[in-house]
Amino acid sequence: MNLPVILDIAIGLIFIYLIFSVLASEIQSILTIILQWRATHLKKSIEELIAGETHINKNNSKSSTEIEKVQKLTKSLYQNQLIKNLNYSGGKGPLERGFRKIIQMLGNLSRAVTGINNIFDVEKTAPSSIPSDTFAASLIDTLKLQELMQMISEDKLRDFTDNILVKIKKILDKLNIEDTSQQKKIQAEFENLHQELNQNIQDYKNNLANLDLTLDRTLNKLDLYTKNL
């Protein structure tokens, strides 16, 4: 057997290997799409991430309540519009819709044969990857963290204002001013300060001012009040 023949056989084997490699890769990709392997693994990974030390094990009755909470939160995450937008459900063309329908039918058939339940509830498919910023934004939105932080800031701001007003009231009571007109003036100024500080908090609550602006307004009004006292 001469060298050209050996070289032809080697090149042919290399091409056959490459063709079968590409074919195997395509078959794996098709099976991944049909069976939603990546999407299923991603959702289970998110459940484990949220669960922390609580393992996703339905046979563990001790942590069943925590597991239900984790799965409920994960379901809410997947219902968030930011993540739902990542779920490609096929184009508007008849060819794409037909291909997507065939994939869904094959997926349903495979789950029926293997006994694996659809973990995406009413949805047939789910995103196979979620960008980190999208996941973080959807988690914050789902947990309503911004609203919670605003409520906490509002309570802290109200406590701060109430404490300041109580201290100012105590100082005014210790002045023992005998002039009636002067007493009325001081009382009117104090009530006006009280109303202005409460209005600051109300503006923050109604998203008319952020926390920094609210604090600046509060400090400026207190500074102006003490200078005019």
Which pLDDT tens digit goes with each residue over 195-224? Answer: 999 999 999 989 898 989 999 999 999 988
Alpha-carbon dihedral sign for residues 212, 216, 217, 222: positive
Residue 205 domain-assigned (yes or no)? yes
100 with 184, same domain: the answer is no
Secondary structure (3-state) at 144:
coil
Q: Which of 106, 127, 143 is the last residue of a domain?
A: 143
- Are 118 and 128 found together in one domain? yes
Mean pLDDT of 82-108: 64
End residue of a domain, out of 120, 143, 166: 143
Q: Are residues 124 and 78 in the same domain?
A: yes
Q: What is the reported pLDDT for 218?
A: 92
Looking at the structure, do residues 188 and 211 belong to the same domain, yes or no? Answer: yes
Domain match, 65 and 130 both: yes
Q: State which of 100, 119, 143 marks the end of a domain.
A: 143
In a domain, 221, yes or no: yes
Asked if residues 16 and 24 have their Cβ atoms less than 8 Å apart, the reply is: no
Question: Residue 62 is encoded by which pair of tokens?
Answer: 């001790």
Q: Please check whether residue 185 lies inside any domain of the structure.
A: yes
Asked whether residue 216 is assigned to any structural domain, the reply reads yes
What percent of the chain is modeled with pLDDT above 90?
17
What is the mean predicted confidence (pLDDT) over 72-94?
A: 76
Total structural domains within the chain: 2
* 139 and 195, same domain (yes or no): no
Whether the per-residue pLDDT at 88 is higher than 70: the answer is: no
Q: Give yes or no for a contact between 189 and 172, defined as CB atoms under 8 angstroms apart.
A: no
Is position 19 within any domain?
Answer: no
Nearest to 56 by CA among 71, 42, 41: 71
**132 and 201 co-located in one domain:** no
Q: Is the pLDDT of residue 168 over 80?
A: yes
Select the highest-mean-pLDDT range: 8-12, 50-54, 89-93, 119-123. 8-12
Question: For position 129, what pLDDT does the model report?
Answer: 83
pLDDT of residue 122: 57
User: What range defines the domain where residue 120 resides?
Assistant: 36-143
Cα–Cα distance between 100 and 32 in angstroms, integer? 14
Instruction: Tell me, yes or no, whether 214 and 161 share the same domain.
Output: yes
